[in-house]
Amino acid sequence: MSPRRNHPKRKGGKNTKRGNKGDDERDIAASHETIEEHDEGIYRVRKITGSSSTKPYRCPGCDQLIRMATPHIVAWIEGDVDSRRHWHSACWSKREHRKPNVERTRNAPRY
């Protein structure tokens, strides 16, 4: 077995010359953000990774909790940031085929 090679990371060496960009100079394609056109309008859709979701959200599609560290989708109508909602990925993709859901309290009968 050959010996393990440990090389210290270079500060300001090769990695900075290759064109590594800071967070401020990211491309939209690198941020996993797309634009989708639907009946309600044009949506901006951003895919959130599990590591970047730090608090739970309520999915408007199924009314269930999206737990922390769960990959999901954030969508809003372009130009209206107040309409931004967090969705499960499956709920977002099937929202066109879903019937309107009746909200019930926990103790309400299901008939």
| Domain boundaries, given as residue ranges, for the chain | 28-97
The predicted pLDDT at position 103 comes to 62
Digit-coded pLDDT (tens) for 35-72? 999 888 999 999 998 888 888 999 998 889 999 999 99
Whether 20 has a pLDDT exceeding 80, the answer reads no
Complete edge-to-edge strand list for the sheet that includes strand 85-87:
33-38, 41-48, 72-77, 85-87
**Can you give the pTM of this predicted structure?**
0.61
Residue 58: beta bridge partners?
65
